[in-house]
Amino acid sequence: MNNKYALITGGSRGIGLGIAQSLAAEGWNLAINGMRPEDSVRETLDGLRAQGIKVIYCQGNVADLQARTAMLDKIKSEFGNLHFLINNAGVAPLERKDILEMTEESYDRVLDINLKGTFFLSQAVANWLVEQKSADSDFFGGIVNVSSISATIASINRGEYCISKAGMSMVTQLFATRLGELNLPVYEVRPGVIMTDMTSGVKGKYDKMIEDGLTVQKRWGYPEDIGKAVAALVRGDFPYSTGQVIMIDGGLTIDRL
């Protein structure tokens, strides 16, 4: 697998890092995107490199065209190829507000990063995947979108986040349909309640909800749970499942009486 290359957005911490660690363990060379300066994530990058893989860092906001262009230019220069894009970068509202009080500023910020950035980065990578497939019929690549149970479960105090993840689900369907004839699969991984810095501020709330039966499996999800699922997808373990949603939620979304 040492000639396989993946780009993970938001890959320097949280779910993204869990995915990076799983792929690194299987020999994938990684382009890690994040917003923080490279010096502040050097220890994390070195930890991935200790797996014997090549790791490059692509700093920038996926919502920005110039940042996306620079990101892919660096990958082309350093790697030459890209097999999988893992769209994981995302933000929560800076302040959780009822939808009757949500601001346009918050809406624009969340949708720009979580949805617009995801779509247009996917568009750029999809064109590159098509080029690589045209040049080599044995080329295998695709896209994995990390969304959320919030794609279908309404949270009225963070509506902009829910809307962005619902849109991301349609992005999956669109690119799966467009790329399907070339055998370039597109998947959606939909995490539930995952222990990350994004959820640290509501840990007490979810500790109680999980204990009271929110999930069938009475524990938090962890970034490595998502990483294992993504690793299986990019290995090609689900070759006839393009466009499908993989639920990683401990049974939270099972309808129960």
DSSP letters, 84-120, are EEEE------SS---TTT--HHHHHHHHIIIIIHHHH
Please tell me the distance from the alpha carbon of residue 116 to that of residue 245, in angstroms, as a whole number.
20
123, exposed or middle or buried, with CB in 10 Å at 0-12, 13-18, 19+?
A: middle
- SS3 state of residue 77: helix
Longest dimension (CA), the chain: 55
Catalytic residue among 107, 161, 187, 222: 161
107 is catalytic: no
Residue 171: closest CA among 92, 109, 114: 114
Which residues does the annotation mark as catalytic? 161
